[in-house]
């Protein structure tokens, strides 16, 4: 009877042991770092993690996605050491500490064949409220406007709402999208459409032959440079968050992710490098 | 050969079914064609054997290929025995208790309609957290096993049912116990059906994205054990096409690899089935 | 008990427990869905979800009715296209094509069934959506969704239908042919009655796949929460709702998304139950 019981126990031990080793901390740096959260930030942190692993051979950095809310929730429940959040922290999340690792701007984009070169903020609000339905009302060619909006809860939508002082329930859109790439493909396939996406992504796409164009905002052109200079009005931080950064491993990763040693990785992902002030 | 009379229905049926087949063929050409057009340029031996760089824009897919195969193995090793057992019970033993069989069938039909993202969230809560497997190839494989189970069982049950009753009667009249009949007569006869089920199930599993993002995870490192997190090809394709700007080419190339992998699996499955059939015919 | 009976009993036990496991799986998933959606259901009640209204969870409005209509209409559209195509393709494979060609076609179908839905969605977004857009903007619509979903479920449907036509005993087919019937007659008198449960099963499986499809639907349906009034209207399905918003949802919003899943499961349960009423019992 006893031996029979033992087998599942040893099995269980084997299941648990690798997890226990996580809790043990030793210097020099070793162990596993679990990072979860925003899919926008994940490709960047994955590359940062790889470089960190190279510098510290005993360390493993596991990056998992699932959205900003998941990053916050996992850090709160201690399921992850670090969370990735593609927005500033909400008022009810102030117990967490945020460490910005990059910036990202948001640009209004149109199809390349649309003759318009700029829209005023009132016109944009009018279009998104559904009061302006035809391009000729804002000085363009005759044709219906297809409004492309982001899904509820996305941080780009929240930023857009805040900037244009418009509520999501007031927006009358014809297409709702999830990720940036989907937005770009949707607009590229529809000459009468208007949308907003991450500047870095849009700049890259426009530079590589995708038929879209970026509209300036308040007369400031939507480029990575202007975001970096702090002039472009519509931008957001990409954050890493933790509950406590007292653990040596997490702290040293956060320092590394904010250091100049990863700037090339940030540029590779078409985000804007964030310099610590 | 069936005799042909030129009734109206006959010619209508004939032309419309040829048209349908031609349509399917056209779709195939369109989809594979666009994948080849965009992705073939990137395919090379290096692509298959090197690690991804720059979030997959450059470099290859070696660790992702290994993870995918491991996930599929875990999935099939779990789903096939469970599916086989259930299908045998449903087709051979449920006549005495039809209500139980119908209940199981109802459950399976319902299971087949559960969206994959729900499987993903469930797998994350159950396998990763409750069973403590974490983000791992094991969790991913088990979640996929849950997903393909209904397909596998449905195909197997159809296959078993198609075996003529005479086989069973003949075996019974020889005094063979029922389980021996199952083992030595019905199961071998159902091998082609098992292959159909397996291929459909594998197709579903290899194509799955939503269920894997939350279970086997996003890490694109070479897995060292089944407890490691590993990114599957489909997750890689999703990430490249929807999340990584400039990843389209790699996404198409990865899709081509996925299709090739599926092709190899299908060919070898049907070759195995053919050889199996031949060896049985030789026996007779 | 004789040894053979004993081993028979053991054998049945093994089979039965595997069947119980399979069924238990569903109950586990349903229990999980219920647990996750309980907080908002307790607070707002079921009626908040199924009465007509708006879906803006951050402002406390949770009506899922429009998305339910969206899901059902996209699925119905897809099946309307895929079912005849699938059955005819299976028929062609079995009765008209030379066997060699048929085996090539089947291999093609197997490959098609294994292409990730992301790729179909991607393809739909870059090829079909602009096409429909030229007829009637915005292009991402109920029609586009139905077409792409139909193409997605077609391979599975055709292969399953083919398997059930193949499994019709050859004596029956030969017998009918010997009576001088043409293919249509053989199909109606011998193949259809025998293959019907299998064909229904194939359609049912395709329904499930279409109802549950997520990744492709997000890209091509437009995702607007509204009851469609024309086939060019964009719609949002319940699955798209989960996938679009889950990443950023917190608290009640997250919980409400699980209610979407539960509602979907409930719909599928109804459809499956109806189908099992219509489906003739296995002889």
pLDDT on residue B33: 92
Q: Do C239 and B2 touch (CB under 8 A)?
A: no
CA gap B221, B235 in Å, rounded: 14
pTM tops 0.90 = no
> What is the residue-averaged pLDDT of chain A?
86
Q: Do C223 and A189 touch (CB under 8 A)?
A: no
Question: What 3 state SS string does chain C have?
Answer: CCHHHHHHHHHHHHHHHHHHHHHHHHHHHHHHHHHHHHHHHHHHCCHHHHCCCCEEHHHCEECCHHHHHHHHHHHHHHHHHHHHHHHHHHHHHHHHCCHHHHHHHHHHHHHHHCCCHHHHHHHHHHHHHHHHHHHCCCCCCHHHHHHHHHHHHHHHHHHHHHHHHHCCCHHHHHHHHHCCCCHHHHHHHHHHHHHHHHHHHHHHHHHHHHHHCCHHHHHHCECCCCCCCCCCCCECCHHHHHHHHHHHCCHHHHHHHHHHHHHHHHHHHHHHHHHHHHCCCCC
| Higher-scoring residue by pLDDT: A23, A249 | A249
Contacts C246 to A, Cβ<8 Å: 67
A80-101 confidence digits (pLDDT tens): 999 999 888 888 888 999 999 9
Which chain C residue's Cα is nearest to B178?
Answer: C8
A118-138 confidence digits (pLDDT tens): 999 999 999 999 999 999 999
Contact in structure between C266 and B114 (CB atoms under 8 Å)? no
pLDDT on residue C49: 92
Which residues, in sequence order, are CB contacts of B205 under 8 Å at separation 6+? B71, B72, B75, B76, B144, B147, B148
Least trusted range by pLDDT, from A7-21, B46-60, C32-46: A7-21
Q: Do B34 and C12 touch (CB under 8 A)?
A: no
Q: Do A205 and B245 touch (CB under 8 A)?
A: yes
Q: Do C115 and B255 touch (CB under 8 A)?
A: yes
A11 — pLDDT class (breaks 50, 70, 90): very low
pLDDT on residue B112: 84
Which chain A residue's Cα is nearest to C131?
Answer: A189
A122 touches chain C (CB under 8 A): no
B104-129 confidence digits (pLDDT tens): 988 998 888 888 888 998 998 899 98
Looking at the complex, report in whole angstroms how far the Cα of residue B6 sits from the nearest Cα belonging to chain C: 8
Q: What is the mean pLDDT of residues A143-163?
A: 90
Is the pLDDT at A216 greater than 70, yes or no?
yes
CA gap B28, B32 in Å, rounded: 6
A168 touches chain C (CB under 8 A): yes
pLDDT on residue C117: 87
A62 touches chain B (CB under 8 A): yes
Q: Which of C205, C264, C265 sits opposite B151 (nearest CB)?
A: C205
Q: With pLDDT > 90 as the criterion, what percentage of chain C qualifies? A: 44
Alpha-carbon distances, residue A257 vs A60, A265, B125, C169 (angstroms): 15, 10, 30, 67
A24 — pLDDT class (breaks 50, 70, 90): very low
Which of A38, A70, A83, A174 should we substitute to test contact with C (largest number of C Cβ atoms within 10 Å)?
Answer: A174
Least trusted range by pLDDT, from A106-110, B249-253, C216-220, C250-254: C250-254
Q: List chains adjacent to chain B, taking adjacency as at least 3 C-beta pairs closer than 8 Å.
A: A, C
pLDDT on residue A197: 92
A21 — pLDDT class (breaks 50, 70, 90): very low
Q: Do C261 and B90 touch (CB under 8 A)?
A: no
A22 — pLDDT class (breaks 50, 70, 90): very low
Which of C244, C246, C248, C255 should we substitute to test contact with A (largest number of A Cβ atoms within 10 Å)?
Answer: C248
CA gap A99, A255 in Å, rounded: 9
pLDDT on residue B157: 86
Q: List chains adjacent to chain A, taking adjacency as at least 3 C-beta pairs closer than 8 Å.
A: B, C
HSE on the CB side for A202, CA within 13 Å?
Answer: 30
Q: Which of B132, B221, B245 sits opposite A15 (nearest CB)?
A: B132
This model of the complex carries an ipTM of 0.84
| Higher-scoring residue by pLDDT: B270, C90 | C90
Q: Do A69 and C224 touch (CB under 8 A)?
A: no
A179 touches chain B (CB under 8 A): yes
SS3 A259: coil
pLDDT on residue C214: 87
Q: Do B21 and C187 touch (CB under 8 A)?
A: no
Q: With pLDDT > 70 as the criterion, what percentage of chain C qualifies? A: 96
Contacts A40 to B, Cβ<8 Å: 243
C109-125 confidence digits (pLDDT tens): 988 888 888 889 988 99
Which of C5, C9, C15 should we substitute to test contact with B (largest number of B Cβ atoms within 10 Å)?
Answer: C15
Which of C14, C19, C122, C190 should we substitute to test contact with B (largest number of B Cβ atoms within 10 Å)?
Answer: C19
Inter-chain CB pairs, B–C, below 8 Å: 303
Q: What is the mean pLDDT of residues C277-283?
A: 57
pLDDT on residue A277: 46
Which residue positions in chain B have pLDDT lower than 70? 1-6, 280-284
C225-263 confidence digits (pLDDT tens): 999 999 999 999 999 999 888 877 888 998 999 999 999
Helix ranges (DSSP H) in chain B? 8-39, 45-49, 62-88, 98-113, 116-123, 137-161, 165-173, 178-181, 187-189, 191-206, 210-213, 233-242, 248-283
Q: List chains adjacent to chain C, taking adjacency as at least 3 C-beta pairs closer than 8 Å.
A: A, B
Contacts B238 to C, Cβ<8 Å: 116, 118, 215
Q: Do A62 and B55 touch (CB under 8 A)?
A: no
pLDDT on residue C281: 52
A25 — pLDDT class (breaks 50, 70, 90): very low
């Amino acid at each position: 009877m006893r031996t029979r019981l033992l087998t599942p126990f040893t099995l269980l031990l084997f299941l648990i042991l690798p997890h226990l080793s996580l809790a043990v901390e030793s210097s020099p740096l070793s162990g596993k770092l679990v990072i979860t959260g925003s899919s926008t930030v994940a490709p960047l942190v994955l590359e940062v993690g790889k470089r960190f692993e190279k510098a510290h051979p005993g360390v493993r950095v596991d990056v998992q996605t699932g959205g900003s809310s998941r990053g916050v929730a996992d850090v709160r429940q201690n399921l992850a050491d670090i969370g990735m959040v593609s927005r500033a922290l909400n008022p009810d999340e102030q117990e967490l500490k945020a460490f910005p690792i990059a910036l990202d701007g948001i640009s209004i984009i149109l199809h390349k064949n649309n003759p318009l070169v700029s829209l005023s903020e009132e016109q944009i609000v009018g279009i998104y409220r559904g009061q302006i339905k035809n391009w000729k009302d804002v000085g363009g060619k005759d044709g219906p406007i297809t409004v492309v909006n982001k899904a509820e809860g996305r941080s780009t939508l929240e930023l857009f709402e805040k900037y244009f002082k418009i509520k999501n329930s007031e927006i009358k859109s014809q297409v709702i999208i999830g990720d940036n790439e989907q937005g770009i493909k949707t607009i590229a396939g529809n000459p009468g459409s208007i949308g907003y996406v991450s500047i870095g992504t849009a700049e890259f796409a426009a530079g590589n032959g995708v038929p879209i164009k970026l509209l300036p905002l308040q007369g400031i052109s939507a480029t990575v440079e202007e975001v970096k200079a702090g002039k472009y009005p519509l931008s957001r931080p990409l954050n890493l968050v933790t509950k406590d950064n007292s653990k040596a491993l997490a702290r040293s990763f956060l320092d590394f992710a904010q250091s100049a040693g990863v700037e090339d990785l940030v540029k590779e992902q078409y985000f804007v490098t964030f310099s610590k002030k | 050969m069936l005799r042909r009379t030129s009734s109206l229905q006959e010619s209508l049926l004939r032309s419309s079914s040829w048209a349908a087949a031609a349509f399917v063929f056209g779709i195939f050409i369109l989809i594979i064609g666009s994948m080849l057009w965009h992705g073939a340029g990137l395919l090379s031996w290096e692509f298959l054997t090197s690690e991804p760089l720059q979030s997959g824009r450059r470099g290859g897919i070696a660790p992702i290929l290994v993870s995918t195969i491991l996930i599929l193995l875990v999935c099939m090793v779990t789903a096939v025995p469970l599916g086989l057992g259930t299908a045998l019970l449903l087709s051979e033993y449920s006549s005495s208790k039809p209500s139980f069989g119908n209940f199981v069938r109802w459950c399976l039909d319902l299971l087949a309609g559960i969206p994959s993202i729900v499987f993903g969230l469930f797998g994350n809560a159950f396998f990763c957290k409750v069973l403590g497997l974490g983000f791992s190839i094991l969790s991913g494989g088990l979640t996929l096993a849950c997903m393909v189970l209904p397909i596998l069982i449905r195909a197997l049950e159809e296959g078993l049912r198609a075996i003529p009753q005479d086989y069973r009667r003949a075996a019974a009249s020889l005094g063979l116990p029922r389980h021996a009949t199952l083992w030595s007569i019905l199961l071998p006869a159902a091998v082609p059906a098992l292959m159909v089920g397996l291929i459909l199930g594998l197709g579903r599993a290899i194509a799955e994205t939503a269920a894997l993002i939350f279970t086997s995870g996003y890490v694109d490192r070479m897995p060292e054990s089944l407890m490691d997190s590993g990114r599957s090809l489909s997750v890689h394709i999703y990430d490249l096409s929807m999340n990584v700007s400039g990843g389209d080419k790699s996404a198409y190339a990865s899709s081509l690899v996925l299709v090739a992998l599926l092709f190899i699996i299908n060919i070898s499955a049907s070759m195995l089935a053919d050889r199996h059939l031949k060896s049985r015919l030789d026996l007779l | 008990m004789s040894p053979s009976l004993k081993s028979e009993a053991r054998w049945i036990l093994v089979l039965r427990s595997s069947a119980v496991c399979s069924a238990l799986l569903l109950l586990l998933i349903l229990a999980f869905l219920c647990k996750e959606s309980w907080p908002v259901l307790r607070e707002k009640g079921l009626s908040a979800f199924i009465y007509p209204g708006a879906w803006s969870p951050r402002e406390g409005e949770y009506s899922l009715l429009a998305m339910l209509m969206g899901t059902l209409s996209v699925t119905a559209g897809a099946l309307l296209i895929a079912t005849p195509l699938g059955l005819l393709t299976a028929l062609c494979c079995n009765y008209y094509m030379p066997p060699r060609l048929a085996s090539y076609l089947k291999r093609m179908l197997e490959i098609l069934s294994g292409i990730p839905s992301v790729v179909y969605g991607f393809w739909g977004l870059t090829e079909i959506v602009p096409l429909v857009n030229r007829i009637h903007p915005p292009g991402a619509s109920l029609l586009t969704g139905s077409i792409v979903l139909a193409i997605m479920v077609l391979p599975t449907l055709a292969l399953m239908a083919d398997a059930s036509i193949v499994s019709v005993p050859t004596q029956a087919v030969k017998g009918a042919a010997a009576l001088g019937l043409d293919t249509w007659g053989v199909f109606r008198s011998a193949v259809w009655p025998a293959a019907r449960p299998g064909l229904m099963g194939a359609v049912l499986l395709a329904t499930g796949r279409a109802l549950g499809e997520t990744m492709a639907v997000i890209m091509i349906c437009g995702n607007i929460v509204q009851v469609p009034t024309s086939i060019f209207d964009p719609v949002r399905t319940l699955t798209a709702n989960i996938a679009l918003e889950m990443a950023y949802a917190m608290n009640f919003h997250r919980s409400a998304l699980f209610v979407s899943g539960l509602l979907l499961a409930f719909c599928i349960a109804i459809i499956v139950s109806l189908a099992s009423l219509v489906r003739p019992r296995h002889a």
